[in-house]
C-alpha cells in the first residue's frame, strides 16, 4: 500500500474513532482526543469535562473503552489518560454538543444560540461565531450567523487563535448543522495586540490566581489511568445531562430578536 493510501486510511480511522468517542462518552463532555504512538503502544489522551464517567465504577468504563479501541479500531496496546477540561465554555466541541442537546429537547434554535453565545463570552472568550443551518422554520433550508466580540476570520492569526467544531442534530423538521468558532485570548500572538481605552491598575491582592492542576493516578488492575483534575472549579452537576437540564429554565428567560423588536414598538 502506498504512503498516500496509508495517510488516507489513518485519517479515516481517526474520523471514525472521534465519532465513536463523541457518542460513547457524550455524557462525560468529550472534547477531543490526542493520539500518539510510543514504543510500548498507543497513548490516548481523552479531554473531557467529567473524568469520573469515563473511568466508571472500579475502572469498568476504562477497561471496556480500552478493549473497544484495541479490537474495533486496531490500536496497539492503548494506554488511556483522562484530562479534565479547565474551561468547558471555551471548548467548541463541548459547546456544540450542549447546543445540540438543547435543540433535541425542543428548545427554539435562536434561544439556544443566544444562550450558547452568552455562555462562551462569559467564559472569557475573545470572540465567537455560531452558524446554524438546516430546516430551521419551514420546508426550505436556511442559515443564520451570530457573532460577538473579536474574531479573526482569515490569515495566520485565525489559524492560531480560533478553534472550531461542527455538530449535527436530527429534529422533527430535519437535520440541523451547528458550527462554533471561538477565539481564545491566551492564544493571541505578540503581533496581534488588543488595545484597551482605559487600562486599570490591578492591585497585588486582586491579581487573578493561577489555576492549579492536580494529577492523580488510578490503578485499574495492572495498568495506570492518569487523571488530570483542575482545582477551584465549582460545578455541582455530575454529568452533561444534568448541566443541560439546569440550563433549560435559564434559556426560557432569554429574549429573542422578535421579542426585543416587539418590546421596542
For 88-201, CATH gives: 3.30.1140.32
Quote the pTM value: 0.73
Structural domain spans, the chain: 3-86+214-240, 88-201
Structure confidence by residue, pLDDT tens digits, 99-123: 998 888 888 888 899 999 999 999 8
For 3-86+214-240, CATH gives: 3.30.300.20
Q: Convert the chain into a string of H (helix), E (strand) and C (coil).
A: CCHHHHHHHHHHHHHHHHHHHHHHCHHHCCCEEEEEEECCEEEEEEEECCHHHHHCHHHHHHHHHHHHHHHCCCCCCEEEEEEECCCHHHCHHHHHHHHHHHHHCCCCHHHHHHHHHHHHHHCCEEEEEEEEEECCCCCCCEEEEEEEECCCCCCHHHHHHEEEEEEEEECCCCEEEEEEEEEEHHHCCCCCCCCCCCCCCCCHHHCCCCCCEEEEEEEECCEEEEEEEECCCCCCCCCHHHHHHHHHHHHCCCCCHHHHHHHHC
Q: Check residue 13 and give its pLDDT.
A: 84
Q: Check residue 161 and give its pLDDT.
A: 87
> Is residue 212's pLDDT more than 70?
no
Question: Which of 3-7, 82-86, 130-134, 224-228 is predicted most confidently?
Answer: 130-134
User: Which carries the bigger pLDDT value, residue 236 or residue 239?
Assistant: 239
Q: Check residue 77 and give its pLDDT.
A: 85
* Averaged pLDDT, 36-42: 85
Amino acid at each position: 500500500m502506498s504512503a498516500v493510501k496509508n495517510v488516507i486510511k489513518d485519517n479515516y480511522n481517526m474520523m471514525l474513532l472521534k465519532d465513536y468517542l463523541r457518542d460513547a462518552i457524550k455524557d462525560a463532555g468529550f472534547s477531543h482526543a490526542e493520539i500518539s504512538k510510543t514504543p510500548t503502544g498507543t497513548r490516548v489522551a481523552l479531554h473531557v469535562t467529567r473524568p469520573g464517567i469515563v473511568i466508571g465504577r472500579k475502572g469498568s468504563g476504562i477497561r471496556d473503552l480500552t478493549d473497544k479501541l484495541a479490537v474495533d479500531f486496531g490500536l496497539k496496546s492503548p494506554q488511556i489518560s483522562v484530562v479534565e477540561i479547565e474551561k468547558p465554555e471555551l471548548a467548541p466541541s463541548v459547546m456544540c454538543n450542549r447546543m445540540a442537546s438543547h435543540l433535541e429537547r425542543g428548545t427554539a434554535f435562536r434561544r439556544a444560540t443566544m444562550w450558547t453565545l452568552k455562555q462562551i463570552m462569559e467564559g472569557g472568550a475573545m470572540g465567537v461565531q455560531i452558524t446554524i443551518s438546516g430546516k430551521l422554520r419551514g420546508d426550505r433550508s436556511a442559515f443564520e450567523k451570530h457573532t460577538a466580540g473579536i474574531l479573526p476570520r482569515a490569515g495566520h492569526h485565525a489559524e492560531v487563535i480560533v478553534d472550531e467544531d461542527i455538530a449535527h442534530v436530527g429534529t422533527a423538521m430535519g437535520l440541523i448543522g451547528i458550527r462554533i468558532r471561538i477565539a481564545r485570548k491566551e492564544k493571541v500572538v505578540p503581533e496581534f495586540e488588543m488595545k484597551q481605552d482605559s487600562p486599570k491598575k490591578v492591585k497585588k491582592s486582586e491579581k487573578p490566581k493561577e489555576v492549579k492542576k492536580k494529577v492523580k493516578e488510578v490503578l485499574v488492575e495492572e495498568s495506570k489511568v492518569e487523571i488530570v483534575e483542575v482545582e477551584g472549579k465549582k460545578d455541582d452537576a455530575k454529568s452533561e445531562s444534568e448541566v443541560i437540564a439546569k440550563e433549560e429554565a435559564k434559556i426560557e428567560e432569554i429574549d429573542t430578536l422578535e421579542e426585543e423588536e416587539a418590546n421596542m414598538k
